[in-house]
Chains A and B, each alone.
Chain A
Amino acid sequence: MAVAIILLLIAVASVLFHLLSPWWWTPLASNWGYIDDTITLTFWITGAVFSAVVLFTAYCVFRFRHKEGQRAEYNPENKKLESWLTVATAVGVAAMLAPGLVVWHQFVTVPAGATEIEVMGQQWQWSYRLPGKDGRLGTSDARLISPENPMGLRPDDPNGQDDIVVQNDDLHLPVGKPVKVLLRSIDVLHDFYVPEFRAKMDMIPGSVTYYWFTPTRAGTFDVLCAELCGVAHAQMRSKVIVEEEKDYHAWLEKQRTFAELSGRGNVAKAAYKTESE
């Protein structure tokens, strides 16, 4: 009896905890409301199954617990019941999977008008790069990294000259404009993670990964690293400031381009040195 009641209480307490918990996802700041919807749907379906199984177990323990002279029923299998349960489960699974895959398709399909920006991770800081007036990012190579060229941009790439390089500072983004975030690392795995945006992707040395999103409200958001990257993993922080377009442009005006930062001559010298090594 006590066991059945405790099982019942576990089901009730779990549901109440879910409904009353003050710990819930952060207010959304991107277009990925569909992801939240898919999670909500999944909570409903899995919550119903969890409650049903625990309550059924509690009932069985209550109703069929051993009493003097009681004997169990002999019932090896029931094909019909087993088939029905299999089909019902398959339907439930499909009801979660299908919308999930639809949203995933959106997640991996970058809209044509998205602005490409770059986030670079290294132990243990973030650097950002925004395209200049030409709207294109120049290419980079980890072997070109030096104190003068911390992101390893190719000095001979004309697309890169007007790139805005943001080091040791926050990333600014205009609200309402889709961005494709190109992700790069120069040492170990990192993961550019802003909880309010919902999106997240690892950064791998040697490749460029990406995701896209549209910031939907102005604000300042914490950037965390979500992939273990060594001892200062927890301290690898930065901020993203989403603001109205005119504020964004005012900020952009104050930033320095790659060409300004390096001075053309220095860059050529650095490149020459690296190649001759």
Chain B
Amino acid sequence: MVDIPLDTVAGIPPAEVGEVELYHPRSWWTRYVFSQDAKVIAVQYSITAMAIGMVALVLSWLMRLQLGFPGTFSFIDANQYLQFITMHGMIMVVYLLTALFLGGFGNYLIPLMVGARDMVFPYVNMLSYWIYLLAVLVLVSTFFMPGGPTGAGWTLYPPQAILSGTPGQDWGIILMLASLILFIIGFTMGGLNYVVTVLQGRTRGMTLMRMPLTVWGIFTATVMALLAFPALFVASVMLLLDRLLETSFFMPTLVEMGELKQYSGGSPILFQHLFWFFGHPEVYIVALPAFGIISDLISVHARKNIFGYRMMVWAIVGIGALSFVVWAHHMYVSGMNPYFGFFFATTTLIIAIPTAIKVYNWVLTLWRGDIHLTIPMLFALAFIITFVNGGLTGLFLGNVVVDVPLSDTMFVVAHFHMVMGIAPIMAVFGGIYHWYPKVTGRMLNEALGRFHFWVSFLGAYAIFFPMHYLGLLGMPRRYHDIGETAFVPASAHDLNAFMSVAALIVGFAQLVFLFNLVWSLFKGKEAGGNPWGAASLEWQTPETPPAHGNWGKELPIVYRWAYDYSVPGAPQDFVPQNEPPAGWSARGAHP
């Protein structure tokens, strides 16, 4: 049974190629600003993503104010409401979660976890961040342009997205598309780095099947993103041409406000196929890194190996592959050929099987563990609950005929917030509490952290669990005001008000978190090199925070998987990946 960890000890191969010189910074500017060190780039990505995330948070407050108390706030009208939901959605999905998981966690953890000195293409990696920053700035600029940001919904469906009945028809939509194009260019530069570093930059002994699941998750998500983002790139370019040059890629003959437009022959459905060919894998681009991070948090803090490691790896790879053949489940009521429904419902429900396996293996890792209820562990538990909840409602929406009454209602909003909003953000927080000591050398404040956890988790659950039932009732999404509608009882408005109050409270708890990030940087408890007693490689660096080049003079050599916790007979309850087995002579490692 125990055939993974202690395999072929004698098989550590000699290094086949010599080490490559790193570019060492000579000035403050190249050390901290135009840095080529993946760890600095990771922090830059993370801070930028969190900053733009704060914008999305404020937007969510504004839209919840409108939904909870319609008509009370005169500064929010239908135009602005649509702009708020559009920008909130796009920021959260692309500019926050994708950037934070891949650009932030990916940059920091991949080289450290696989035992590399840096990413393989440091210069391109640096460019990736700066182009991402430019994309963010272009996006933010739309708030200040005439007409404001686009209010087309984050899905940007034409013809509506580029016609005059939608706010932000001028600069809003044009700059949104330009920003997406920039984002994809920047991401591709980073993404190539992550993939090649995992494939080419691993240290000796670090076989693929010894990598921590965090790396597997980020690696698979990056491969997916490299394949999926081009579809969005193409769709954005074509939509931009339809808007600027009046081409007709997505625009059929149409009469806008009584006026016959010059478009003809284009297909609005084609845009939806391209968008969701990107958009569905995108869900897993966000979910897979979260899966990996959660696996590692649970294992470390339950002092137990992750249960069923190989199954977990294959589940990640399987989900990644399957997620490319399910996209049209977002389009069951789009008017596409209805017979597609049979195929896409089947593939969509099949993807539930590897996903369920992951959940089983997380909870089975807890079984007979030694569970330390640290803050990262609490966030991991919250992830499991919110992810299971959101995953199961996915079985409603994926099952084509069940989707018919529920699609475009608040049920969908509740579902995707639970599964790809709250759950991945729980993983982000868990990851930050877990790795902050490595990044800064200090622990985050425990009391503030627990406050942040309980308010965020219970508050978010209180917002999104009841929201499903408004959707079941039939309340449509993207309505700034449901108004007088016979089937909506007065109690539904009370529920909306309750959710809005909960959203405001949860939002304020995030300010506590931000305060904690800054305060602990100076006043936090000294962490030491390995405060959690973790076995994976990033905790075994000679210095904390790790210096440029990560490993001092010699690269580490890996003798075991990342999950040797509570090994019978071992003196401690963890064995670092780079610790040679008992009786192994140091000379043997250096042939």
A residues neighboring B (CB under 8 Å): 3, 6-7, 10, 14, 17, 21-26, 32, 34-35, 38-39, 42, 45-46, 49-50, 53-54, 56-57, 60-61, 64-66, 70-78, 81-82, 85-86, 89-90, 93, 96-97, 100-101, 103-105, 107-108, 122-124, 142-143, 145, 147, 152, 183, 186-189, 191, 193, 195-196, 198-207, 209, 220-222, 224-235
Contact = CB atoms under 8 A, between A and B. Distances in A.
B36 interface: no
Most buried by B among A38, A72, A183: A72
Contact of B404 (A17, A46, A64, A200): A200
Contact of A71 (B269, B356, B566): B566
Contacts of B147: none
Contact of B461 (A10, A61, A72): A10
B309 A191 contact: no
Interface stretch (B10-18, B229-237, B475-483, B583-591): B475-483
A85 B308 CA distance: 12
Given A25-B473, A187-B163, A205-B254, A14 B480 contact: no
A89 B334 contact: no
A196 B487 contact: yes
Nearest to B359: A53
A75 B268 contact: no
B266 to A, nearest CB: 8
B4 A205 contact: no
Contacts of A82: 308, 311, 357, 360-361
A229 B345 contact: no
Given A23-B473, A189-B160, A202 B334 contact: yes
B253 interface: yes
B582 interface: no
A235 B482 CA distance: 8
Given A10-B385, A70-B370, A189-B159, 8 more contacts: A34-B401, A42-B396, A72-B302, A77-B308, A77-B311, A107-B401, A226-B476, A231-B166
B478 A233 contact: yes
B78 interface: yes
DSSP class of A's interface residues: helix, strand, loop or mixed? mixed
Nearest to A39: B402
B518 interface: no
Given A103-B401, A108-B338, A230-B163, A205 B1 contact: no
Contacts of A233: 78, 82, 478-479
A26 B473 contact: yes
A204 B270 CA distance: 12
B335 A187 contact: no
Contacts of B256: 123, 187
A23 B255 contact: no
Contact of B373 (A3, A49, A193): A3
Contacts of B381: 3, 7, 57, 61
24 contacts: A14-B389, A23-B491, A23-B495, A25-B405, A35-B405, A39-B396, A42-B396, A53-B359, A60-B366, A66-B371, A74-B566, A75-B1, A75-B307, A76-B305, A77-B311, A85-B357, A100-B401, A103-B401, A187-B256, A188-B159, A188-B163, A195-B474, A196-B487, A204-B269
Contact of A193 (B78, B370, B389, B408): B408
A32 to B, nearest CB: 8
A205 B373 contact: no
For the complex of A and B, list the 8 residue pairs with the smallest distance between their C-beta atoms, beginning with the closest.
Answer: A206-B252, A195-B474, A230-B165, A209-B335, A188-B160, A46-B392, A72-B304, A60-B366
A74 B405 contact: no
B245 interface: no
A90 B353 contact: yes
Q: In the complex, which of the residues A10, A81, A97 has the most CB atoms of chain B within 10 Å of its own CB atom?
A: A97
Interface of B: 1-2, 4-5, 78-79, 82, 151-153, 157, 159-160, 163, 165-167, 252-258, 260, 266-269, 302-305, 307-311, 333-335, 338-339, 341-342, 345-346, 349-350, 352-353, 356-357, 359-361, 363-364, 366-373, 378, 381, 384-385, 388-389, 392-393, 395-396, 399-402, 404-409, 458, 461, 465-466, 469-470, 472-474, 476, 478-483, 485-487, 489, 491-492, 495, 563, 565-568, 573
Contacts of A75: 1, 304-305, 307, 368
Contacts of A142: 253-255, 260
Contacts of B367: 60, 64
Nearest to B338: A108
A17 B406 CA distance: 19
Contact of A203 (B78, B335, B406, B567): B335
Contact of A101 (B79, B163, B346, B472): B346
Nearest to A227: B408
A254 to B, nearest CB: 25
A103 to B, nearest CB: 4
B486 A222 contact: yes
Contacts of A195: 405, 473-474, 487
Given A22-B489, A23-B495, A61-B373, A89 B165 contact: no
B385 A72 contact: no
B408 A74 contact: no
Among A22, A61, A145, A200, chain B packs the most CB atoms within 10 A around the CB of A200
A7 B152 CA distance: 39
Nearest to A103: B401
A224 B568 contact: no
Given A57-B363, A85-B356, A93-B352, A35 B401 contact: yes
Contacts of A26: 473-474, 487
A71 B82 CA distance: 54
B376 to A, nearest CB: 13
A108 B167 CA distance: 36
Given A75-B368, A199-B404, A187 B255 contact: yes
A72 B568 contact: no
A64 B166 contact: no
A50 B389 contact: yes
Nearest to A226: B408
Contacts of B359: 53
B167 A207 contact: no
A71 B573 contact: yes
A85 B360 contact: yes
Contact of B405 (A65, A77, A198, A205): A198
B425 to A, nearest CB: 18
A7 B469 contact: no
Candidate in A3, A22, A206 with the most chain B CB atoms within 10 angstroms: A206
A46 to B, nearest CB: 4
Contacts of B361: 82
Contacts of B5: 76
B385 A7 contact: yes
Nearest to A199: B404
Q: Which of A25, A70, A76, A186 has the most CB of B within 10 A?
A: A76
Contacts of A228: 82, 152-153, 157, 160, 478
B565 A72 contact: yes
Nearest to A147: B258
B272 to A, nearest CB: 9
Contact of A61 (B4, B165, B353, B366): B366
Given A77-B1, A93-B350, A101-B346, A207 B476 contact: no
B211 to A, nearest CB: 15
Contacts of A193: 408, 476
B333 A202 contact: yes
A213 to B, nearest CB: 11
B363 A145 contact: no
B395 A21 contact: no
A108 to B, nearest CB: 4
Contacts of A231: 78-79, 82, 151, 165-167
